[in-house]
Amino acid sequence: MASLSAREREVLALMAEGRTNAGIARRLRLTDRTVATHVSSILAKLGLANSEEDHRRVLAVLLYLNRP
């Protein structure tokens, strides 16, 4: 979590609330593309690689919710 920027943590918090990218974009007054870029960066920084077996967005939220 420490490697995430303040904005990325803000996006991740909204993901944890169950918001879609479009919902996050509206809330933060960003474009959908900007939110998608933040989400991709979050997933990369958390080491969540593409997988057919895992839902990376859910795993990111679980890491966020279980942080110390």
Angle in degrees, CA 31, 36, 39, rounded to 5: 130
Could you tell me the sign of the dihedral formed by the alpha carbons of 50, 53, 56, 62, in that order?
Answer: negative
pLDDT band at 1 (very low <50, low <70, confident <90, very high): confident
Instruction: Note the pLDDT tens digit of each residue in 29-51.
Output: 999 999 999 999 999 999 999 88
**Whole-number pLDDT of residue 16:** 97
Each domain of the chain, given as residue ranges in start order, spans 6-65
CATH of domain 6-65: 1.10.10.10
Q: Is the confidence at residue 68, as pLDDT, over 90? A: no
**Whole-number pLDDT of residue 6:** 97
Its pTM stands at: 0.92
Q: In angstroms, rounded to a whole number, what is the distance separating the alpha carbons of residues 60 and 67?
A: 11
